[in-house]
């Protein structure tokens, strides 16, 4: 019988930690991967909101001369426009003159000196119609802002000769602001926002990435020990199961260290008020959830590393082992994809069931917990399922590891591996 | 008599393949024991069972009368045939790691490690990575790792492979010193010269079965009675079809003659004199371990990889192709 914590396992854990943590790869992936991820997200946000450095010039031509001043005033009063970059010229012309005008400014439009010309064919009745003439009429950055500007002016003009108060006009021109509230078992209501989805996405991605990355790391370590025959010397000092457990514990510790470093920003946001996120991006995460994530991650990592170690012991070289590890990849990939279904409907049945199914639970449950309030009993079932899976994986992975690790040469057949497990 | 280590009816199968079958031997206290056999005979499997790396399907291994377990692992130093070191680790680090695995650490073991490195002329490389060392130097580091914790049992699988003559001598001296200090040393080898010079007890395994074991002196006296070592001048081809001869192994100047009966020794000498052969040496009670080994395990119908018969077969094929 082997002891899980003896001087032997401690020596192996210490060596493994030193070999895994004090490497450039570990430091790079732990510190730079989140930085790169955040950088990519920032780049995407920047690109989405990119307005261009060039000045924008648009003409607004109105049939109704009364609107000219109103639009000018509204434009100058509006905070939506950067008045140094966005130049609006308002003039009045009828339909025939407007056509001639467009012909006249066509060279400017084509030379991009002028971005576009809006035409408001508004007679006495203020129709809410606007025409836009431009070489690039799909530029929503321009059309969106002008439409909003003109809409306000038209509403104002429409009600100006009617006995309607200023407040009523403002009310009529105001758009509906939607605010969703999340109902949970907690007291009161929470304002809902995108924060939970972002948190869920980040969590799913981190779990997926680290399970695969750390899994590959242990696969490589096992194959290396097998290839350079160190394992034979090690087994003259320790029991095979001690060796496997010590390696997995060390790799799990390295993995936990990594995920804790990755979780630090979330822990800070959750327990301090130092960082204030924009309202739309705020998320609420309790210490119970953080605790579950870390425990679940630890259990999940040990389970998957057990599988990876067994596969590593079967094969002699990395390329064969990577092929052999494909079924494990599916066990990680499928739950990762199930997480995407949570975006459309966080309460869908597939996600609900898979969050309590062996292996899938490790990825799906924490992501579900980030999006909705999962009943406590379901969390309990998931935890129990994960622990039972861990025990099962360890018992049969241990048997495969113990025999496979000393085998070299011809690749064993699946029938042989089945016999190792049975014996 | 209580033995240091006893193997009793060991059997190990891998699927349908029987690797070791009914192997029993005893290793006395303070012995240098040679486990001999051809490639694939079952030596490594037997050693793995001794150390409890493999569990035998049948039989047991006893350490001073009690079943072996972790206690034996703590007291054994094992040098495998193929080097097993972490290539990215530094020399001193790797030695201290293997010592710690046996529960030995601290400044005392570090000092000892430095002493050994000095003895093996590796002190200036203590901070080099293993991968930067030559094969021979890696072998020396592996040996230091094997004995750093001062084990009672030392198992050496082909310890001299890859070493130059100077280092071979150095290693041999250290092994003899360990023997003087009462350590039990177990050699696994197919180099009969070394086994003959260093071992006092041997076991020969063939096709997974134990075919001979006991003290080397007893074994040699058992076989030497029918054997004659002859150094001569002249033509002895008349012996080829002589009835009293069982086998002749001609090494050129020296010939090993195996007789059918020990009573024929005098008749052979008489015949040689009669045929006017100049007898320079006639040793009637001598046989080398090499000869015993060949006699017991050399089956021409089953060529071993790299064996003489195999080389001959390849040569014959080459000649036929020309």
pLDDT in tens, B24-42: 999 999 899 999 988 888 9
- Partners of residue A233 in chain B, C-beta under 8 Å: 78, 80, 84-85, 98, 142, 145
pLDDT category of residue A284 using cuts at 50, 70 and 90 = low
Contact A8, A238 (CB under 8 A): yes
Q: A262 or B299, which is more confident? A: A262
Query: How far apart, in Å, are the Cα atoms of A164 and each of A73, A150, A169, A185?
Result: 21, 20, 7, 45
pLDDT above 80 for A41: no
What's domain B5-215's architecture? 3-Layer(aba) Sandwich (3.40)
The separation between the first and the last C-alpha atoms of chain B, rounded to the nearest angstrom, is 62
- Partners of residue A235 in chain B, C-beta under 8 Å: 51, 53
- Partners of residue A11 in chain B, C-beta under 8 Å: 97, 100-101
Instruction: Give pLDDT, residue A197.
Output: 73
Alpha helices in A49-160 (DSSP H): 66-77, 95-110, 140-160
**Mean predicted lDDT score pLDDT of chain A:** 81
Element (H, E) at A60: strand A56-62
CB contact under 8 A, B101 and A230: no
B99 phi and psi angles, rounded to 5 deg: -65, -45
The alpha-carbon gap from A420 to the nearest alpha carbon of chain B, in Å, equals 9
CB contact under 8 A, B80 and A7: no
- Partners of residue A8 in chain B, C-beta under 8 Å: 101, 103
**Domain pair B5-215 / B220-321, same fold:** no
The separation between the first and the last C-alpha atoms of chain A, rounded to the nearest angstrom, is 16
What's the per-residue H, E or C state across chain B? CCCCEEEEEEEEEECCEEEEEEEEEEECCCCEEEEEECCCCCHHHHHHHHCCCCCCCEEEEEECCEECCHHHHHHEEEECCCCCCCCCCEHHHHHHHHHHHCCCCCHHHHHHHHHHHHHCCCHHHCCCEHHHCCHHHHHHHHHHHHHCCCCCEEEEECCCCCCCHHHHHHHHHHHHHHHHCCCEEEEEECCHHHHHHHCCEEEEEECCEEEEEEEHHHHHHHHHCCEEEEEEECCCHHHCCCCCEEEEEECCCEEEEEECCHHHHHHHHHHHHHCCCEEEEEECCCCCHHHHHHHHHCCCCCCCCCCHHHHHHHHHHHHHHC
Task: Please provide the DSSP assignment of A207-269 as one string.
Answer: HHHHHHHHHHHHHHHHHHHHHTTHHHHHHTTS-HHHHHHHHHHHHHHHHHHHHHHHHHHHHHH
Instruction: Give pLDDT, residue B306.
Output: 37
Name which of B54, B85, B102 is nearest A230 (Cβ-Cβ): B85
Residue with tokens 């431009």, as numbered in its chain: A134
Average pLDDT over residues A26-36: 80
- Partners of residue A236 in chain B, C-beta under 8 Å: 51, 53, 73, 76-78, 80, 155
The alpha-carbon gap from B137 to the nearest alpha carbon of chain A, in Å, equals 16
Residue with tokens 């990577």, as numbered in its chain: A322
Instruction: Give pLDDT, residue B114.
Output: 95
pLDDT category of residue A277 using cuts at 50, 70 and 90 = low
**Measured in whole angstroms, how far is the alpha carbon of residue B118 from the centre of its chain?**
28
pTM for the model: 0.69
- Contacts of range B105-113, beta carbons closer than 8 Å, 24 or more positions apart: B109/B148, B109/B149, B112/B148, B113/B144, B113/B148
pLDDT above 70 for B255: yes
CB contact under 8 A, B84 and A237: no
Q: A155 or B62, which is more confident? A: B62
Residue limits of CATH 3.40.190 in chain A: 56-175
Nearest CA in chain B to A3: B70
Q: What is the ipTM for the molecules in this complex?
A: 0.76
A91-140 per-position pLDDT tens digit: 988 888 888 998 998 998 888 888 899 998 866 666 778 888 988 888 77
Instruction: Give pLDDT, residue A179.
Output: 63
For chain B, domain boundaries: 5-215, 220-321
pLDDT category of residue B108 using cuts at 50, 70 and 90 = very high
With a CB cutoff of 8 Å and minimum separation 6, the contacts of B104 are: B148, B149, B150
CB contact under 8 A, A233 and B76: no
The alpha-carbon gap from A250 to the nearest alpha carbon of chain B, in Å, equals 15
Sign of the dihedral defined by the CA atoms of residues B229, B234, B237, B243, in that order = negative
Q: A61 or A155, which is more confident? A: A61
pLDDT category of residue A183 using cuts at 50, 70 and 90 = low
Instruction: Give pLDDT, residue A50.
Output: 63
pLDDT above 90 for B11: yes
Instruction: Give pLDDT, residue A210.
Output: 82
Instruction: Give pLDDT, residue B310.
Output: 36
pLDDT above 70 for B253: no
DSSP conformational letter for A107: H
Kindly report the CATH number that applies to the domain delimited by A56-175.
3.40.190
Q: Helix (H, G, I), strand (E, B), or coil: what is residue A87?
A: strand
pLDDT category of residue B91 using cuts at 50, 70 and 90 = very high
pLDDT above 60 for B318: no
Instruction: Give pLDDT, residue B81.
Output: 83
Instruction: Give pLDDT, residue A138.
Output: 81
Q: B154 or A284, which is more confident? A: B154
Most confidently predicted of A156-160, A240-244, A391-395, B98-102: B98-102
DSSP conformational letter for A5: S
Instruction: Give pLDDT, residue B92.
Output: 95
Average pLDDT over residues A352-375: 88
B272-308 per-position pLDDT tens digit: 999 888 888 888 767 778 878 887 887 544 444 433 3
- Partners of residue A412 in chain B, C-beta under 8 Å: none
Average pLDDT over residues A315-321: 86
Average pLDDT over residues A212-223: 87
Q: Helix (H, G, I), strand (E, B), or coil: what is residue A86?
A: strand
- Partners of residue B56 in chain A, C-beta under 8 Å: none
pLDDT category of residue A185 using cuts at 50, 70 and 90 = low
The alpha-carbon gap from A210 to the nearest alpha carbon of chain B, in Å, equals 24
Residues of B contacting chain A (CB within 8 angstroms): 15, 48, 51, 53-54, 70, 73-74, 76-78, 80, 82-89, 97-98, 100-103, 142, 145, 155
Residue with tokens 């291994």, as numbered in its chain: B61
Q: Which of A184-193, B141-150, B194-203 has the lowest mean pLDDT?
A: A184-193
Most confidently predicted of A35-49, A248-262, A270-284, B144-158: B144-158
User: In the CATH hierarchy, which fold is given to the domain comprising B220-321?
Assistant: Alpha-Beta Plaits (3.30.70)
Instruction: Give pLDDT, residue B309.
Output: 37
Average pLDDT over residues B189-210: 87
Contact B171, B160 (CB under 8 A): yes
pLDDT above 90 for B110: yes
Q: Which of A219-228, B137-146, B179-188 has the lowest mean pLDDT?
A: A219-228
Sign of the dihedral defined by the CA atoms of residues B83, B88, B93, B97, in that order = negative
Buried b (16+ CB within 10 A) or exposed e, B162-181: bbeeebbebbbebbeebbee
Nearest CA in chain B to A407: B14
Name which of B15, B80, B145 is nearest A229 (Cβ-Cβ): B80
């Amino acid at each position: 019988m082997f002891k899980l914590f003896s001087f032997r396992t401690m020596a192996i854990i210490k060596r493994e930690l030193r070999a895994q943590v004090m490497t450039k790869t570990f430091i790079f992936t732990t510190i730079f991967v989140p930085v790169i991820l955040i950088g990519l997200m920032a780049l995407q946000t920047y690109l989405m909101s990119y307005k261009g450095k060039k000045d924008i010039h648009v003409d607004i031509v109105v049939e109704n001369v009364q609107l000219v001043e109103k639009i000018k005033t509204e434009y100058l009063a509006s905070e939506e426009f950067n008045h140094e970059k966005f130049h609006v010229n308002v003039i009045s012309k009828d339909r025939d003159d407007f056509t001639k005008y467009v012909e006249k400014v066509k060279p400017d439009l084509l030379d991009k000196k002028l971005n576009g010309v809006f035409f408001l064919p508004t007679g006495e009745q203020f129709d809410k119609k606007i025409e836009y003439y431009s070489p690039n009429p799909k530029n929503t950055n321009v059309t969106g802002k002008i439409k909003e500007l003109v809409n306000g002016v038209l509403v104002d003009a429409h009600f100006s000769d009617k006995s309607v108060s200023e407040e009523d006009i403002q009310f009529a021109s105001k758009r509906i602001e939607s605010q969703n509230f999340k109902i949970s078992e907690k007291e009161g209501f929470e304002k809902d926002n995108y924060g939970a989805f972002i948190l869920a996405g980040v969590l799913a991605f981190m779990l997926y990435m680290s399970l695969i990355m750390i899994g590959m790391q242990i696969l490589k370590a096992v194959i290396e020990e097998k290839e350079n025959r160190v394992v034979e010397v090690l087994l003259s000092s320790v029991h095979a199961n001690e060796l496997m457990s010590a390696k997995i514990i060390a790799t799990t510790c390295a993995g936990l260290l990594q995920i804790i470093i990755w979780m630090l920003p979330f822990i800070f946001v959750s327990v301090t008020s130092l960082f204030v996120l924009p309202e739309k991006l705020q998320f609420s995460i309790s210490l119970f959830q953080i605790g579950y994530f870390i425990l679940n991650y630890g259990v999940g990592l040990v389970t998957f590393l057990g599988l990876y170690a067994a596969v590593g012991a079967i094969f002699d070289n990395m390329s064969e082992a990577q092929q052999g590890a494909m079924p494990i990849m599916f066990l990680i990939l499928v739950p990762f994809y199930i997480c995407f279904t949570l975006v459309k409907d966080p309460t869908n049945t597939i996600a609900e069931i898979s969050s309590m199914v062996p292996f899938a639970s490790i990825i799906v449950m924490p992501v579900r917990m980030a999006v909705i309030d999962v009943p406590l009993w379901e969390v309990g079932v998931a935890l129990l399922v994960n622990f039972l899976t861990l025990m099962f994986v360890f018992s049969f992975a241990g048997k495969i590891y113990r025999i496979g690790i000393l085998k070299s040469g011809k690749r064993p057949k699946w029938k042989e591996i089945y016999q190792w497990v049975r014996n | 008599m209580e033995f240091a280590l006893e193997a009793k009816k060991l059997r190990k199968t891998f699927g349908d393949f029987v690797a070791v079958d009914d192997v029993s031997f005893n290793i006395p206290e303070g012995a240098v024991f040679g486990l001999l056999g051809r490639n694939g005979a079952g030596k490594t499997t037997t050693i793995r069972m001794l150390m409890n790396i493999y569990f035998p399907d049948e039989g047991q291994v006893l350490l001073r009368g009690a079943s072996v377990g972790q206690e034996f692992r703590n007291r054994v130093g094992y040098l495998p045939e193929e080097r097993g070191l972490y290539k990215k680790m530094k020399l001193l680090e790797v030695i201290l790691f293997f010592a710690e695995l046996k529960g030995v650490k601290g400044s005392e073991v570090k000092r000892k490690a430095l002493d050994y490195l000095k003895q093996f002329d590796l002190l200036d490389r203590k901070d080099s990575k293993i991968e930067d060392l030559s094969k021979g130097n890696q072998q020396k580091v592996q040996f230091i790792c094997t004995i750093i914790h001062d084990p009672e049992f030392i198992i050496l699988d082909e310890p001299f492979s890859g070493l130059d003559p100077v280092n071979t001598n150095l290693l041999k001296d250290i092994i003899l010193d360990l023997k003087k200090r009462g350590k039990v040393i177990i050699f696994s080898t197919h180099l009969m010269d070394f086994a003959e010079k260093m071992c006092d007890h041997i076991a020969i395994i063939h096709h997974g079965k134990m075919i001979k074991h006991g003290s080397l002196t007893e074994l040699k006296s058992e076989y030497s009675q029918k054997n004659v070592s002859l150094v001569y001048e002249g033509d002895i081809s008349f012996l080829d079809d002589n009835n009293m001869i069982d086998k002749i192994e001609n090494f050129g100047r020296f010939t090993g003659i195996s007789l059918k009966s020990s009573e024929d020794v005098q008749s052979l000498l008489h015949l040689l004199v009669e045929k006017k052969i100049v007898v320079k040496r006639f040793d009637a009670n001598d046989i080398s371990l090499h000869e015993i080994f060949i006699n017991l395990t050399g089956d021409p119908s089953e060529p071993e990889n790299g064996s003489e018969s195999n080389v001959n077969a390849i040569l014959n094929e080459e000649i036929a192709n020309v």
